[in-house]
Amino acid sequence: MVRKVFGTDGVRGEANTYPMTAEMALRLGAAAGRFFRRDHSNGHRVVIGKDTRLSGYMIENALTAGLTSTGMNVLLLGPVPTPAVGFLTRSMRADLGVMISASHNPHQDNGIKFFGPDGFKLCDAAEHEIEQFLADEIKPAEPGNIGRARRIDDAGGRYVEYAKTTFPRRKRLTGLKVVVDCANGAAYKVAPQVLWELGAEVVTLGVAPDGTNINSECGSTRPEAAARLVRESGADLGLCLDGDADRLIALDETGHVADGDQIMALFAGLWADAGRLANGTLVTTVMSNLGLERFMHGRGLALERTKVGDRYVVERMREGGFNLGGEQSGHIVMTDFTTTGDGLIAGLQLLAAMVETGKQASALLDNFTPVPQHLENLTIDAGAAPLASDMVRGVIAEQEKRLAGMGRLVIRPSGTEPLIRVMVECEDEALMHEVVEIVSEAIRDDATSAALSA
């Protein structure tokens, strides 16, 4: 039986290490091909995009071999943002979309994300079925039914044109200077092009990928360089994308960072005023700041929380008929425009708000005072399970009692990295830091004891 390979956002790991090997990518492609060709009919197609990681060539070729071996026709998009794959899967009437990316992770990691024919990420049930095919011998197609592969040279251009349609008609960005940090990732061509074509003066950062510099000292997880560039160039706004451009962290004209929570607050307020916020509700995760929740309730609006992962946000949005959601980390999902988080299109909506209101970014991105929050990322060896320990559970229960009525404690294993994340939110900052330290120490001690006794 094949070990479970899907996490919270597809398959992810260190390149050339299970499960991100060429062999597994080939088998995964064949399994996905079998899943979508269960009727054994011909003519099925799949689009494959990737970011700029060196290992993307290896994974792309292996996936293509696996997919074509089961009769799927493959359309290779080259480097494009993750949301472009969702858009082009639907636009090109494909049965399946695949994005090769590890998002905000360092270059040595890579990942594989799957999209269904509707452009939305596959649900857990579909991923489980693909894993069932992986567990068995995958029967290849007959020689006459082997799939074909071809490159789509204008994939980026198609996405550029679509992205521009989400900006208000007859409006331009003339007179605005925008710093865009593309993290040396998938949007390094398309993001500056869209902004320039809409009339902005564009200052670029992170647009020289070499296969190993994606997310390195740049992008949504490291906005410091972009913030300096905003101040030095006198820009009106900074847009920081991650490696696959499905996240946005914004910088106002002073270089101050606005995370996904502040961006969602802005959009929720504007959309509610315009009667556009479906069912008066914003969907976000357990990690979003309590200040955002208070902002929404203060406006007479609702906030729903899901577990961490933009796919779970999207699932709840679709279930409830909501059109705005996202994560503090910068995934902004607007189903009026996109099927997944889209950093560039979120940036365009922020710029549209600046154009239409005449306000500076600093005025638009200061919607609530965040409750103090501290996040600790604990590296845990594979196989360790400290959250199952009675000792750790007891410590967590004790600290939750201390926070009762004053704050929140959120502990979760990362679905994309070998980490356990400990987040405490509390008005009393001294108590907040103390709780983080106590819980983190308990987790580390249990993981160390388990390693020594193994």
214, 53 Cβ separation under 8 angstroms: yes
Query: Which residue shows structure tokens 């400990």?
Result: 422
Token digits of residue 159: 């996405």
State residue 359 phi and psi, 5-degree precision: -95, 155
> Which segments of 74-118 does DSSP mark as H helices, in order?
82-91
**What is the Cα–Cα distance from 140 to 34, expressed in whole angstroms?**
8
Assign 99 to helix, strand or coil: strand
Radius of gyration of the chain (CA): 22
55 is catalytic: no
What is residue 302's DSSP assignment? E
Amino acid 430 reads: A
DSSP bridge partners of 419: 379
CA 441 to chain centre: 29
The per-residue b/e assignment along 241-277, b for 16 or more CB within 10 angstroms, e otherwise, is bbbbbbbbbbbbbebbbbbbbbbbbbbbbbbbeeeeb
Exactly one of 103, 220, 329, 389 is catalytic; name it: 103
**What is the Cα–Cα distance from 425 to 409, expressed in whole angstroms?**
7
Residues with Cβ within 8 Å of residue 362, at least 6 apart in sequence: 252, 253, 254, 256
Assign 443 to helix, strand or coil: helix
What is residue 173's DSSP assignment? -
425, 289 Cβ separation under 8 angstroms: yes
In a 10 Å sphere around its CB, with 0-12 CB exposed, 13-18 middle and 19+ buried, how is residue 13 labelled? buried
Q: How many CA atoms lie within 13 A of 76 on its CB side?
A: 16
Nearest C-alpha neighbor of 87 from the set 14, 166, 151, 185: 166
Nearest C-alpha neighbor of 99 from the set 46, 22, 147: 46
Catalytic residues: 103
